[in-house]
A and B are shown apart, each in its own frame.
Chain A
Amino acid sequence: MKSEKENKHKQFDVPQGYFESFDERLMTELKFHQLFPKKSDGFKVPENYFDQVEKTIIQLNKPQGKLVNYNFKTVIGSAAAIAAVLLLLFYVVNPIDKEMEFDSLSITSLENFFEDEERLQDYFSAEELSTIENNTSIFDDQVVTDDIIYEYVDQDIIQSSLADQ
Chain B
Amino acid sequence: MNSIEDHNVSLKFEDLVSEYKERLYWHIRRMVISHEDADDVLQNTFIKVFKNLNNFQGDSQVYTWLYRIATNETLTFINKRNRTTHLSNEDLHESLVTNLVSDPYFNGDEAQLKLQKAIDTLPTKQKQVFVMKYFDELQYNEISEILGTSEGALKANYHYAVKKITEYVTDN
Residues of A within 8 A of B (CB): 15, 25, 28-29, 31-32, 35-36, 39-46, 49-50, 53-54, 56-58, 60-63
Contacts and interface: CB of A to CB of B under 8 A. Distances in A.
Nearest to B34: A43
B152 interface: yes
A61 B21 contact: no
A46 B34 CA distance: 12
A45 B18 CA distance: 17
Given A42-B108, A57-B17, A61-B47, 10 more contacts: A31-B170, A41-B26, A42-B100, A42-B113, A43-B108, A44-B105, A44-B106, A45-B25, A45-B105, A46-B35
A159 to B, nearest CB: 20
Max chain B Cβ within 10 angstroms of own Cβ: one of A15, A43, A46, A49: A43
B169 to A, nearest CB: 5
A47 B47 CA distance: 23
Max chain B Cβ within 10 angstroms of own Cβ: one of A29, A35, A41: A41
A31 B163 CA distance: 9
A43 B106 contact: yes
B30 A41 contact: yes
B33 to A, nearest CB: 8
A42 B107 contact: yes
Interface string B5-29: 0000000011001100110011001
Contacts of A29: 162
Nearest to B49: A61
Contacts of A32: 162, 165-166
Nearest to B108: A42
19 contacts: A15-B152, A28-B159, A28-B162, A32-B165, A32-B166, A39-B134, A40-B108, A41-B108, A41-B115, A42-B100, A43-B30, A43-B35, A44-B106, A46-B105, A49-B35, A54-B17, A54-B21, A57-B17, A58-B13
Contact of A41 (B1, B43, B135, B165): B135
A51 B113 CA distance: 28
Interface of B: 1-2, 13-14, 17-18, 21-22, 25-26, 29-30, 35, 39, 42-43, 46-47, 50, 100, 105-109, 111-113, 115-116, 134-135, 152, 159, 162-163, 165-166, 169-170
The dominant DSSP class at the B interface is: helix
4 A-B pairs closest in CB distance: A42-B108, A42-B112, A61-B50, A57-B46
Nearest to A57: B46
A54 B19 CA distance: 10
Contact of B22 (A36, A41, A50, A60): A50
Contacts of B30: 41, 43
Nearest to B43: A57
Contacts of B21: 50, 53-54, 57
Given A28-B162, A44-B105, A45-B25, A35 B111 contact: yes
